[in-house]
Homo-oligomer: A and B are copies of this chain.
Amino acid sequence: MPGEGLRDRKKRRTRAALARAAVLLAAERGLDHVTVDDISAAAGVSPRTFFNYFAGKEEAVIGPDPDAAARIAARIAAQPEDRSAAVVVRDTLLAEIADELADDPELCLLRIKVVHQHPALLTRLFAAGEETEQHMVAAVAARCGLSPHDIYPHLLAAAAGAAFRVAMTRWASPEGRRDPARLAELFIEAMDLVAAGLADPPHRSDEG
């Protein structure tokens, strides 16, 4: 973060301002009634600059993080050796959620709300998840001593992504709590089920 130069810091701020403006305006009027010009104006840059950062307003609302790949790889590499691959991936994603929610909780909630009102955005959000999965593959393969072409890392990453989406969807549904801890619970439950195998539904004796 330090020694990063004024230039990079400014870019980061511009990107954040655009993403923030996109979410705020979309939450207020609905994404269909927000133009790129509106977002750019709210962020204090020209419309042309908007497209230097995002491919369109949908992407701005989702607000993908360019640094995610490096951070995820570092997180996977940093975990103790004695953990199963599934647990490593699980905890890495949990840490990512925690960080994202800690960074700006209100904006996150607003984003969820906007996504809820626009199924097309859900698709984009999941697509961003696919990206994240790809970033994990190499790190998982290295950790397990497998080739990046082996099917296992790909499957684990994809399955973790699936568990994450399911947890996210349930968390965002109207019923139930909607705090970070609850999301973590749901994701852990989902991930453990996947890691344990899904051939048949578990006979549940506990939980509600």
Interface residues of A (CB under 8 A from B): 84-87, 123, 126-127, 130, 144, 146, 150-156, 158-159, 161-163, 165-166, 169-170, 189-190, 193-202
Contacts and interface: CB of A to CB of B under 8 A. Distances in A.
Contact of A198 (B130, B155, B166): B155
B170 A163 contact: no
Contacts of A126: 126-127, 130
B193 A166 contact: no
A201 B123 contact: no
Q: Chain copies in the assembly?
A: 2
A195 B199 contact: yes
Most B-side CB within 10 Å, residue of A151, A152, A201: A201
Nearest to A170: B151
Contacts of A130: 123, 126
A173 to B, nearest CB: 9
